[in-house]
């Protein structure tokens, strides 16, 4: 009996590969699994007899538009991996535990699961817009430790959430599997144990799954958003290189779009329907990677490699910098001599595929260190640098509009405050991270999208110490107060901030002369020099945005939060604040 094709569809690759591994652990002998990200889903990806697992109810609408109506589907449910929860299980009862996840919805779901299962403790969902209890014993996070500032103590990370067992029961029903509940329970427990090991230990298996789903070149140059000058230059150079037919190396940070450019180069330069095959050099041992690329012969057994399969097409080697020197030499000779030998073979095979590679860094530095072959570097002389999103901020809004259009959500409004936050954020995960965030926001069912819906990583981590200021607000406020007090009285600076805050609510900005008069109305008299010094200190602390000329100055978001924290924590701060504020 042929195995059923099962498609697991998710927004984020990182989560997709983890749950794909879990499904493989439980039902891998019963199905052909195809993990696919939402952006890679097209109307011809799924057949009517296949089964679809939708990773999140938020993306149900768009997925159902792109799969056949007859196709059976389920929405996956998630739960904590309690194999990782030994530390919290062994705590004495009635501890107060602050739960931090990347979004409010995920935080609430995590809290609910904890309350139902490890019910001995008091769980408080972290909400940055609300005050938290004064005495917190522990901070718990399901795999989102990166949201927490460094230096915090009593942090328990129980790892990211996985599929719950009910999802596997539903999937078994759709597959027509009978009397397998006991087997599913055993395999499910095995999957929890397997996925409780460190990220580093499962990296190879995750990368292998990536390879399996990146063998289709869907993107063309028309799909690339390039409004900024750096990205325009990269796109123009890519188009020129595509016509040359020579090897190309694309370098850039994670998530910048290297794979997208590789696919576009292939589609612009190769015959229609010719193969595009990607493989990650990081995910294989040197022996396995050599056999994957060149094929092998053993007696009567012959296995073709990717260079042979991709005849007249493209082989895309991701993370070429991870390839060992002996294998670099063999690939270099194949490209240079236009021929190669299978592993164990004696007859030359013509090298007819185009080579495109990628690396996180420019390869010249690795040549200097001796970790990359200089001859191979010369072959890859056509270099493309994909700028980070931080270097091409002009592309952020066009990219967002493109994502909205692609997801059929163009009618959903994004508030100007949200746009400001998105532009301000540093985007360490680049375009991939932007896509994941926008997709999440668009499927919240909120219109317009507000700042409160942004993931915490965007709302707080980029503002130095914001989460620390919620968990340990006194410390940060006290430091600011100490700075202000070295240059004058706190009540003077506080009134200056309140004047600017009142003006911002009325959409007004002020110059120093106006502020001086408004302070006098409050009974505070300052010389111009004193006022200038107070404003300079507030600017240095990031509490004021000072602009020259008629534009005037205004309070920053950090300044508004400072005032809010002052009101909330005033009674708990030092005598300096209680006596003078």
pLDDT digits (tens, 9 = 90+) for 404-433: 888 888 889 998 888 988 988 889 889 988
Q: Please tell me which residue, 292 or 1, carries the higher pLDDT value.
A: 292
CA distance 37 to 217: 14
pLDDT digits (tens, 9 = 90+) for 490-544: 888 889 988 988 888 777 777 888 888 888 888 888 888 888 888 888 888 888 8
Confidence band, pLDDT 50/70/90 cuts, at residue 131: low
pLDDT digits (tens, 9 = 90+) for 87-128: 898 888 889 898 988 888 888 899 999 999 999 999 988 876
Confidence band, pLDDT 50/70/90 cuts, at residue 14: confident
Close Cβ partners of 553 (under 8 Å, ≥ 6 residues apart): 500, 509, 510, 511, 535, 544, 545, 546, 547
Q: 79 and 110 in contact (C-beta within 8 Å)?
A: no
What pTM, to 2 d.p., does this model score?
0.61
The CATH topology of domain 221-385 is Rossmann fold (3.40.50)
Confidence band, pLDDT 50/70/90 cuts, at residue 579: very low
- For 4-80+163-212, the fitting CATH number among 3.40.30, 3.40.50, 3.10.310, 3.10.20 is 3.40.50
CA distance 483 to 529: 18
Residue with tokens 């932007």: 434
The CATH code that applies to domain 472-580 is 1.10.10.10
- Say if domain 390-458 classifies as CATH 3.40.1190.20: no
Report the chain's C-alpha Rg in angstroms: 28
Domains 390-458 and 472-580 share a fold: no
The mean-pLDDT minimum among 1-10, 64-73, 159-168, 342-351 falls in: 1-10
pLDDT digits (tens, 9 = 90+) for 307-342: 998 888 999 999 999 999 999 999 999 999 999 999
Tokens of 4: 């059923």
Report DSSP state, residue 575.
Answer: H
Confidence band, pLDDT 50/70/90 cuts, at residue 208: very low
Check whether 262 has a pLDDT greater than 90.
Answer: yes
Check whether 16 has a pLDDT greater than 60.
Answer: yes
Q: In what order do the strands lie in the sheet with 138-141?
A: 122-125, 96-99, 138-141, 155-157
Q: Over the chain, what is the mean pLDDT?
A: 83
Tokens of 205: 């298996």
For 43-50, what is the mean pLDDT? 89
Check whether 276 has a pLDDT greater than 80.
Answer: yes
Check whether 7 has a pLDDT greater than 70.
Answer: yes
Domains in the chain: boundaries: 4-80+163-212, 82-159, 221-385, 390-458, 472-580
* Crossing angle of helices 416-424 and 396-406, rounded to 10°: 120
- pLDDT value, residue 384: 94
Residue 274's DSSP bridge partners are none
HSE of 97 in the Cβ direction (CA atoms, 13 Å)?
28
């Amino acid at each position: 009996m042929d195995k059923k094709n099962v498609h697991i569809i998710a927004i984020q690759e990182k989560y997709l590969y983890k749950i794909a591994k879990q499904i493989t652990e439980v039902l891998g002998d019963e199905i052909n699994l195809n993990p696919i990200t939402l952006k890679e889903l097209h109307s011809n990806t799924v057949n009517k007899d296949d089964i679809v697992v939708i990773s999140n109810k938020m993306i149900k609408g768009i997925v159902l538009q792109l799969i056949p109506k007859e196709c059976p589907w389920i929405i996956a449910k998630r739960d904590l991996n309690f194999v990782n929860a030994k530390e919290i299980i062994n705590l004495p009862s009635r501890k107060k535990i602050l739960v931090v996840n990347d979004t409010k919805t995920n935080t609430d779901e995590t809290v609910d699961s904890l309350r139902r299962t490890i019910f001995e403790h008091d769980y408080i969902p972290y909400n940055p817009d609300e005050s938290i209890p004064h005495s917190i014993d522990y901070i718990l996070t399901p795999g989102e430790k990166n949201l927490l500032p460094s230096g915090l103590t009593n942090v328990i990370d129980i790892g990211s959430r996985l599929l719950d067992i009910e999802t596997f029961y539903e999937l078994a029903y759709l597959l027509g599997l009978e009397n397998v509940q006991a087997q599913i329970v055993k395999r499910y427990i095995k999957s929890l144990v397997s996925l409780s090991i460190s990220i580093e230990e499962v990296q190879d298996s995750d990368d292998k799954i990536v390879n399996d789903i990146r063998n289709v070149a869907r993107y063309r140059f028309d799909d690339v958003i390039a409004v900024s000058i750096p990205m325009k230059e990269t796109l123009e150079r890519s188009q020129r290189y595509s016509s040359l037919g020579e090897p190309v190396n694309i370098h850039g940070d994670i998530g910048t779009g290297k794979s997208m450019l590789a696919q576009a180069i292939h589609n612009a330069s190769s015959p229609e329907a010719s193969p595009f095959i990607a493989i990650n050099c990081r995910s294989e041992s040197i022996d396995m990677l050599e056999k994957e690329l060149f094929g092998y012969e053993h007696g009567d057994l012959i296995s073709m490699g990717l260079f042979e399969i991709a005849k007249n097409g493209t082989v895309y080697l991701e993370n070429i910098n991870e390839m060992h020197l002996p294998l670099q030499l063999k690939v270099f000779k194949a490209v240079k001599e236009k021929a190669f030998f299978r592993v164990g073979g004696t007859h030359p095979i013509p090298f007819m595929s185009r080579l495109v590679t990628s690396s996180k860094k420019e390869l010249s530095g690795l040549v200097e260190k001796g970790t990359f072959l200089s001859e191979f570097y010369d072959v890859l002389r056509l270099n493309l640098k994909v700028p980070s999103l931080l270097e091409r901020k002009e592309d952020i809004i066009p990219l967002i509009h493109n994502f909205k259009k692609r997801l059929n959500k163009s009618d959903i409004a994004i508030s100007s405050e949200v746009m400001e936050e998105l532009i301000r954020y540093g985007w360490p995960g680049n375009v991939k991270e932007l896509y994941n965030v926008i997709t999440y926001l668009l499927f919240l069912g909120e219109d317009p999208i507000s700042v409160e819906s942004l993931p915490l990583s965007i709302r707080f981590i980029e503002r130095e110490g914001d989460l620390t200021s919620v968990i340990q607000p006194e410390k940060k406020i006290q430091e600011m107060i100490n700075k202000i007090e070295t240059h004058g009285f706190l009540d003077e600076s506080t009134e200056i901030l309140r004047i600017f805050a009142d003006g911002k609510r009325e959409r007004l900005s002020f110059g120093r002369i106006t502020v001086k008069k408004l302070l006098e109305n409050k009974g505070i008299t300052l010389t111009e020099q004193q006022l200038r010094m107070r404003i300079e200190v507030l600017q240095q602390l990031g509490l004021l945005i000072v602009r020259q000329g008629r534009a005037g100055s205004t309070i920053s978001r950090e300044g508004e939060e400072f005032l809010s924290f002052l009101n909330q924590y005033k009674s708990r701060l030092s005598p300096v604040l209680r006596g003078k504020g």
